[in-house]
């Protein structure tokens, strides 16, 4: 390898070549860059000088691998690398291919994570302040990069990385939750609110902002590492310091507004956020009055969606909306639901929605499960219902049962 053009050609063959022997040759020739820490300066030089996006991708991926495989890299080296990546994204972000930006963001997040607990240097904990500079720029590209960094950073801190022990992972995750996550959650809500209010905002920016809200709400707050593919994740253990943001009516209303005014993937991500918000722990609320008001907003919001049939023709929206309805009963008792003003109109709308869904279950068979789970939990709670407020279940359950049987 004598020159930069030759290296760029090898990188192009590595990522785009169709001949297995040529790709194997390119991989062998380029291997030293990703296994020898002495090649870190060369990787930076490639990023500085290369015009090929595949060479930039290769250099960034190599740096990430070197950082991951060599936990003992010096603290100053990590700081220099981190500053280099931030400046590179700030100065050249407008001209980079999307996959190169993604790779650089992954590198920055990995650097921050591996050095987060370094006792002799707190510079890496200033990442939130530095990324905010991207959001203050007057162009969409930098704004998008800033949101992308926050998204990847939350994801990186929330999952175990190669070479990181489970104990170390928990220390990092807890420290990040304590020192940075609430601030990022506030940034995500503010960004989404501003983008929602702007008539000219790009869909990709809204998607990143909504995804960031979801990433914050999906954080493994207490280290349980529960599987989202099951419906048994129970309650979300949001820290008490988040109480004012969660209880604030504008937070939930923002999610319903984003859902109403956008198409997938923004709208279904907003619904995923509402699924999480419907699952926050009971003890988070300052009083039962606050919790009941919170439930009332959930009932009113879902009732409006049903009344207007907002976005439910989109499969992604439909699925998440079914999850949201099911989660209401998972986290609230039947006695609490029937006490909500508007309950009767809501349960009627949910029943009609369920009947319609059962009649077209082939289209949404995976989603119907959540509706059946909702009605199953409602029925199971009837023996424990006290007071004279009618649950109205006896008027709907026989029809739902009959429709379920005949639709099969």
Give the pLDDT confidence of 62-74 residue by residue, as tens digits. Answer: 999 999 998 778 8
Contacts by 121-125 with C-beta closer than 8 Å and gap 24+? 121/75, 121/79, 123/79, 123/82, 124/78, 124/79, 124/82, 125/179, 125/180
Which pLDDT value is given to residue 229? Answer: 46
Identify the pLDDT of residue 200: 77
What is the C-alpha separation between 174 and 263, in angstroms, rounded?
Answer: 35
Closest of 331, 228, 333, 337 to residue 272, by C-alpha: 228
pTM: 0.93
pLDDT of residue 272: 97
Cα–Cα distance for residue pair 390/392, rounded to 1 Å = 5
How far apart, in whole angstroms, are the C-alpha atoms of residue 271 and residue 325?
11
* The pair of three-digit structure tokens given for residue 342, joined into one six-digit string: 């508007």
| Tens-digit pLDDT profile for residues 166-221 | 999 999 999 999 999 999 999 999 999 999 999 778 899 999 999 999 999 999 99
- For residues 177 and 154, what is the distance between their CA atoms, to the nearest angstrom? 9
Instruction: Write phi, then psi, for 237 (nearest 5 degrees).
Output: -85, 65
What pLDDT shows up at residue 74?
80
Q: What's the pLDDT at 225?
A: 55
| Residue-level pLDDT at 293 | 97
Question: Following DSSP, what letter does each residue of 112-173 receive, concatenated?
Answer: HHHTTT-TT--GGGGHHHHHHHHHTSSSHHHHHHHHHHHHHHHHHHHSPPTT--HHHHHHHH
Q: Are 368 and 322 in contact (CB under 8 A)?
A: yes
State residue 210's pLDDT score.
98
CA separation for the pair 110, 104 (Å, rounded): 10
Per-residue pLDDT at 363: 74
What span, in angstroms and rounded, lies between the C-alpha atoms of 306 and 176?
39
Q: Which residues of the chain have pLDDT under 50?
A: 1, 226, 228-232
């Amino acid at each position: 390898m004598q020159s930069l053009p030759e290296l760029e050609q090898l990188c192009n063959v590595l990522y785009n070549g169709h001949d297995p022997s040529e790709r194997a040759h390119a991989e062998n020739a380029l291997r030293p860059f990703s296994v020898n820490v002495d090649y870190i300066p060369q990787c930076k030089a490639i990023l500085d000088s290369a015009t090929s996006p595949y060479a930039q991708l290769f250099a960034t991926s190599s740096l990430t691998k070197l950082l991951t495989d060599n936990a003992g890299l010096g603290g100053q080296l990590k700081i220099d690398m981190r500053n280099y990546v931030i400046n590179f994204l700030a100065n050249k972000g407008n001209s980079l291919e999307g996959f190169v930006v993604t790779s650089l963001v992954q590198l920055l997040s990995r650097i921050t994570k591996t050095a987060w607990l370094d006792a002799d240097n707190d510079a890496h904990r200033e990442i939130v302040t530095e990324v905010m500079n991207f959001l203050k720029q007057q162009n969409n590209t930098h704004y998008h990069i800033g949101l992308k960094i926050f998204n990847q950073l939350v994801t990186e801190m929330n999952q175990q990385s190669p070479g990181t022990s489970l104990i170390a992972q928990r220390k990092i995750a807890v420290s990040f939750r304590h020192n940075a996550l609430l601030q990022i959650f506030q940034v995500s809500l503010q960004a989404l609110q501003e983008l929602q209010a702007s008539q000219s905002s790009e869909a990709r920016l809204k998607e990143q902002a909504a995804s960031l809200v979801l990433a914050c709400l999906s954080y493994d707050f207490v280290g349980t590492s529960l599987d989202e593919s099951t419906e048994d994740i129970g309650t979300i253990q949001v820290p008490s310091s988040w109480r004012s943001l969660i209880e604030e009516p504008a937070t939930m209303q923002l999610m319903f507004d984003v859902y109403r005014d956008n198409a997938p993937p923004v709208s279904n991500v907003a619904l995923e956020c509402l699924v999480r918000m419907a699952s926050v722990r009971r003890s988070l609320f300052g009083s039962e009055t606050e919790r009941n008001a919170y439930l009332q907003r959930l009932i009113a919001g879902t009732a409006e969606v049903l009344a207007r049939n907002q976005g439910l023709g989109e499969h992604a929206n439909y699925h998440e909306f079914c999850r949201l309805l099911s989660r209401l009963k998972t986290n609230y008792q039947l006695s609490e639901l029937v006490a909500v003003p508007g309950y009767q109109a809501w349960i009627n709308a949910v029943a009609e929605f369920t009947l319609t869904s059962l009649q077209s279950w082939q289209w949404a068979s995976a989603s119907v499960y959540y509706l059946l789970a909702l009605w199953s939990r409602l029925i199971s709670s009837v023996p424990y219902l006290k007071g004279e407020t009618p649950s109205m279940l006896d008027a709907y359950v026989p029809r739902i049962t009959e429709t379920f049987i005949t639709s099969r």
